[in-house]
Amino acid sequence: MTLRKFYRLLATLGIMAVAIGLSNRFISDQPAAEVYPGKSIKIIVPFKPGGGSDRIARTVNAFTEAEFGRSFIFQYKPGGGGHLGVGYLSKSRPDGYMIATYNTPDLALGPLTGTGQYDLDDLSIIGQIAFDPNVFATLVNSPYADMTAFMADAKARPGKIRLGIAQPKGGTHLSTLAMLDQQNIDVSVVLFAGGSELATAVLGGQVDVGISGLTPFLGSMERVKFLATTGEARHPKIPNTKTMNELGIPMNSGIGRVFLAPSGIDSAKLERLRRGFRKIYATEAFKVEMRKIGNEPVWLDGEQVKANLAEFSESAARMIKKYGL
Amino acid sequence: MEQLVSGFSDILTIQTLLVMCLAITGGIVVGTLPGLSSVMAISLMLPIAYGFGPVVGLSMLGAIYTAALYGGANSAILLNTPGTPSSLPTAFDGFPLTKKGKADRALYGALFASVIGGLFGTVVLIVAFEPLANISLHFGPPEFFFLSCLGLCAVAAISEGQVLRGLLSACIGLLIALIGQDPVSGDVRFTFGIYPLISGVEIIPALLGLFSLSQAMNILEMKTSHIAPYKAEPGVIGLLAKKMGSAWATLLRGSTIGSVVGILPGAGGAIASIIAYNEARRTSKDPSEFGKGAIEGVIASESANNAQVSSSLVPMMGLGIPGNVNAAVIMGALMSFGIQPGMGLLTNSSDVAYAFMASLVVANILLLGIGIYMVKLTARVLLIPNAYLGPGVIVLCIVGAYAAAYDMYGVWVMFGTGILGFIMLKLKIPIGPMALGMVLGPIAEKGLGQSLQMAGSEASLLQFALSRPISLILFVLCVLTLFAAIYVERKTRQAEAFAKGNEDE
């Protein structure tokens, strides 16, 4: 090949590339009154695959094709207790094609503890699709008949009882500290990375009592008993266990499963997402699937979630200061 | 037994076997390519598994898991680039064998050992997953601390002849492992203001850099045209089949260690294979051969590595608590099929449970057949001239590092650790101990932190330590490992001095 021929080839290729680029532009510009969503939405799961958030998002995803025309594309961005992935979302292009799943009240804790590089105002909340109250779990042969017995023993022997808590600096950690503080109880707190690790520790007797969500215990229900649940109503899976509120100890902690978009998202697109998620939530089949994986579907509108988070932030800030977290 | 037989009859259908064959082929490829992990493959295939229904879907996921963990051995042997932490010790002897032109031996050895270890672990799973799950509960934070210490002691032991360099390397690894969030308190430390470091130095990109990128630079620097001479060795399969017979003790030990460590949630395959490797070396008639191309090293590491695949499912199936990320994803699939893993599994869904366990047996047998064929292809990597191989590996490194977290951050980690690895290579500081330090450091730290929190409710720390027999045993094993290492080193020195004395005469 002579040099001239080579240049000619290059020029042809260049023109072709420009042409393809332009035609692409025209094609993508054409639906100006764009149908949203016109392509697959990417969803960030800010944890390793296989966790609770992943399972819930995948359950939702079984219904997204019917609702949005296409399934979600999953991206796992673990780190910083999930705050890394949320921070990534808050900085992504708000074109409606990038959303994320995460938990409340941890969402409010990222900005407070400095583990999250985002502000609540950087995010639009689509809605909460499920709520998992916390449970206080202990071995079935534990000396504690109920929560009152545990609290009495903890008061009688300060520092001698081990209480396991899942997720350091997480929502459950702070709510539990607040409760212990308010009840004037001194226990040895042992922190575990997540629900699975905590459940293993409770079953192995490494801690006397543990607090986390119910799902990690679903495979070993015969071996544990639940002293109390948090949340406003009793847990449908363990209807005989009293709530903390019933015992006169106000504690509404729990994990809300929420979906987020960056705050700059076009309001019509946000509305579309909210409508879609709410519709999925309302499907009976979805509720059946959610209960299969052990989660209770509870809807909350995005604005409501945001108001709750603002309220939580105030009390959490006090706890963080008090315990130097 | 009857249920197991019906489990096999569920699996042995054309459709299931076909899906499993594809899954195993894909799994081997994913495992072989540095940077692509079994977790990635399994979660990518989840939607397809849902479409198939429980039996076929779970067989597919189990087959990918089995094959991908074996596949890691290929790159460790051929290019000295272990893609997963658990195949680290495979490279210690696998790559020297390749250098000697005996790649075939190492590759088939790894395959046979993987299959035998895999079958061993699966039998353990089938026979006793319920009681074993309960035994795993006796391992609390203090036991995990000493178990990871045992792994770290093995590091000192394997760096024979260059103990100081080995320790230096392990310490660098431990220091890097400190970057990020404190595993117990959640405090952020040593991130130097670089926000993504909050999640620590990601292990997959770091391994890619340390081993693969540094090796690629090394390949490009080589004066030879190929990384190692390679000629297919006729009759190698028969030779190795015989070898498996004579190395039965190593296989048994490796498989047992792999199964035991696999059962413990969160311990990870790296601990299993490094302890198995060290045990093989310690009990060998000629420990000085280890690190220079002893096939027993490959066999020990790989049998342990694959024995822990099935046994890592024990806590998930017995208690509903996943022991690692792979098990977590498979558990998610089970739950989506309406099956709650855990204590009620055998009463409520024994058919699917037995079919799944039967499929793991079948997967290992299929792995043998497909693996023999694939080895012939993968070994051809050695026929690629260095001028192409080096850049090819670099491309794979970048893709793998990016895919680990869908972020450029992984690529920067990979480049950073790659340059560090290259410098260490030049200074003749072994990289293996550093990688093990990075993998074991967080487990040890978390175990220690939680143990201290637990001891808060006891009168004294000593009382707490003495109240736990398993951790005392592990502590004694740590001490023994260190003394054994010193003893072995003395012995080899004496032997060397003796040999030298003979030469002088």
pLDDT tens readout for residues A115-152: 888 999 999 999 999 999 999 999 999 999 999 999 99
- Determine, for residues B265 and A190 on separate chains, whether the beta-carbon distance falls below 8 Å: no
- Determine, for residues A188 and B453 on separate chains, whether the beta-carbon distance falls below 8 Å: yes
Place of tokens 């770290």: B152
Place of tokens 């290992």: B364
A189 and A148 in a common domain: yes
Q: Which residues of A touch B457 (CB under 8 A)?
A: 159-162, 187-188
Q: Which residues of A touch B344 (CB under 8 A)?
A: 219, 221-222
A9 inside domain: no
- Determine, for residues B405 and A76 on separate chains, whether the beta-carbon distance falls below 8 Å: yes
A151 and A220 in a common domain: yes
User: Domain limits at A289?
Assistant: 42-131+254-323
pLDDT at residue A8 is higher than 80: no
Domain boundary among A192, A213, A229: A229
- Determine, for residues B195 and A162 on separate chains, whether the beta-carbon distance falls below 8 Å: no
| Interface mutation target, options B335, B445, B470, chain A, most CBs of A under 10 Å | B335
A121 and A203 in a common domain: no
Indicate the residue type of B395.
Answer: V
Q: At residue A134, what are phi and psi to the nearest 5 degrees?
A: -85, 155
Nearest to B331 among A48, A50, A87 (CB): A50
- Determine, for residues A201 and B343 on separate chains, whether the beta-carbon distance falls below 8 Å: no
Least confident of A32-36, A256-260, A287-291, B320-324: A32-36
A199 and A161 in a common domain: yes
Least confident of A40-49, A149-158, A310-319, B89-98: A310-319
Q: Which residues of B touch A167 (CB under 8 A)?
A: 186
A93 inside domain: yes
DSSP SS3 for A243: strand
* Domain tally, chain A: 2
Q: Which residues of B touch A169 (CB under 8 A)?
A: 185-186
Strands A209-213 and A123-139: antiparallel
- Which parts of B126-245 are beta strand (E)? 180-181, 188-189
- Determine, for residues B140 and A168 on separate chains, whether the beta-carbon distance falls below 8 Å: no
pLDDT at position A299 is 97
A183 inside domain: yes
Give the count of beta carbons closer than 10 Å to the beta carbon of residue A205. Answer: 15
Instruction: Provide the shortest C-alpha distance from residue A214 to chain B (in Å).
Output: 12
pLDDT at position A29 is 46
Give the Cα separation of B397 and B380 in Å (integer). 20
Give the Cα separation of B208 and B400 in Å (integer). 8
A120 and A48 in a common domain: yes
Q: What is the dihedral of CA B51, B54, B57, B63, to 10 degrees?
A: 180
- Determine, for residues A168 and B184 on separate chains, whether the beta-carbon distance falls below 8 Å: yes
| Interface mutation target, options A47, A200, A323, chain B, most CBs of B under 10 Å | A200
Give the count of beta carbons closer than 10 Å to the beta carbon of residue B434. Answer: 28
A28 inside domain: no
A268 inside domain: yes
Strand partners, A257: A103, A130
Contact of A244 with A179, CB cutoff 8 Å: yes
Per-residue pLDDT of A216-264, as tens digits, reads 999 999 999 999 999 888 998 999 999 999 999 988 889 999 999 999 9
Tokens of A76: 């796992």
- Determine, for residues B457 and A219 on separate chains, whether the beta-carbon distance falls below 8 Å: no
Over residues B385-413, the mean pLDDT reads: 89
A224 and A138 in a common domain: yes
Distances (CA, A) of B249 to B26, B123, B242, B273: 32, 18, 13, 15
Q: Which residues of A touch B39 (CB under 8 A)?
A: 48-50
Indicate the residue type of B442.
Answer: P
CATH number assigned to the domain comprising residue A264: 3.40.190.150
Strand partners, A192: A166
Contact of A218 with B320, CB cutoff 8 Å: yes
| Interface mutation target, options A64, A196, A209, chain B, most CBs of B under 10 Å | A196
pLDDT at residue B474 is higher than 70: yes
Chain B residue with CA closest to A159: the answer is B457
Over residues B28-51, the mean pLDDT reads: 89
- Determine, for residues A80 and B407 on separate chains, whether the beta-carbon distance falls below 8 Å: no
- The residue among A44, A45, A51, A47 whose CA lies nearest residue A197 is A51
A279 inside domain: yes
Radius of gyration from C-alpha coordinates of chain B: 22
What's the ipTM?
0.89
Give the count of beta carbons closer than 10 Å to the beta carbon of residue B188. Answer: 18
Contact of B200 with A48, CB cutoff 8 Å: no
A184 and A113 in a common domain: no
pLDDT at position B47 is 86
Instruction: Provide the shortest C-alpha distance from residue A205 to chain B (in Å).
Output: 8
Least confident of B83-87, B137-141, B374-378: B83-87
pLDDT at position B82 is 86
- The residue among B470, B420, B418, B333 whose CA lies nearest residue B51 is B333
- Determine, for residues A197 and B265 on separate chains, whether the beta-carbon distance falls below 8 Å: yes
- Which parts of chain A are beta strand (E)? 42-45, 73-76, 98-104, 123-139, 162-166, 188-192, 209-213, 224-229, 254-262, 297-301
A141 and A124 in a common domain: no
A120 and A153 in a common domain: no
A199 and A274 in a common domain: no
A30 inside domain: no
A151 and A119 in a common domain: no
Contact of A139 with A205, CB cutoff 8 Å: yes
pLDDT at position A30 is 47
- Determine, for residues A49 and B405 on separate chains, whether the beta-carbon distance falls below 8 Å: no
Q: What is the dihedral of CA A209, A213, A218, A221, to 10 degrees?
A: 30
- Determine, for residues A50 and B198 on separate chains, whether the beta-carbon distance falls below 8 Å: no
Give the Cα separation of B288 and B275 in Å (integer). 17
Place of tokens 């450029």: B408
- Determine, for residues B342 and A81 on separate chains, whether the beta-carbon distance falls below 8 Å: no
Nearest to A114 among B42, B182, B188 (CB): B188
More confident residue, B3 or A100: A100
Give the count of beta carbons closer than 10 Å to the beta carbon of residue B14. Answer: 7
Place of tokens 């558990």: B331
A35 inside domain: no
**Torsion over CA: B71, B74, B77, B82 (sign):** negative
Q: Which residues of A touch B184 (CB under 8 A)?
A: 168, 191
- What value does the mean pLDDT of chain A take? 89
Strands B180-181 and A162-166: unpaired
Distances (CA, A) of B377 to A76, B91, B113, B390: 32, 19, 19, 19
Give the Cα separation of B406 and A149 in Å (integer). 49
A276 and A218 in a common domain: no
